[in-house]
Amino acid sequence: MLANERPPLFAPGTSFAYAHSDLVLLGDVLEKATGESLADLLRERILDPLGMRDSQVVLNSQISEPYLHAYTNERGIFEDSTFWNPTVFLHSGNMAPSTAGLGALTDTKYFAYGVAHDGDWFFMNPAYAGYDGVVYYDTKTQTLVVAYVTLGPKSNANTDNALSLGKEIATLLVPDCPPGV
């Protein structure tokens, strides 16, 4: 299998690295087992039953207005990356999430189903093609913070500015128990 093509990055339980190859493979298995596209399966079995009529699986680079333009210099030049094609990440939400800054995992700080759990806070940090996002949700106060940012011409593509912005907002809203991540 593909998982055994390369040696592990580290010994089990000593660190954390995110990959969504498992979701890509699961999507392929579901399509082959049912004979339906994953988009149809998601629509029929999840989105429609939950009444999520405006949600859709994105399989091309077209997005509806209004939208935040994304900019990046990750290919060595500053460019508009708004319409980069997300299908490179099929079956995984068409985003490239990261967990930058999560730190060591514990019984109260862990990662499950694409969401980091840190005490009372849930945390996600999606990033793709010049967009950096962060989502914080405090389960005690039911406070939700969502922030997306993009880069400027002199920005460092390796710095995720959504993290510091989202954490600062969450700390202002829940000062007695700010997010630790």
Give the pLDDT band of residue 4 (cuts 50, 70, 90). Answer: low
Q: Residue 43 and residue 31: Cα distance in Å, rounded?
A: 13
Neighbours of 108 (CB within 10 A): 10
pLDDT single digits (tens) 144-155 = 898 888 888 887
pTM confidence score = 0.57
pLDDT single digits (tens) 13-68 = 777 665 666 677 788 898 999 999 888 888 898 878 878 776 767 666 666 677 77
Q: Residue 181 and residue 179: Cα distance in Å, rounded?
A: 6
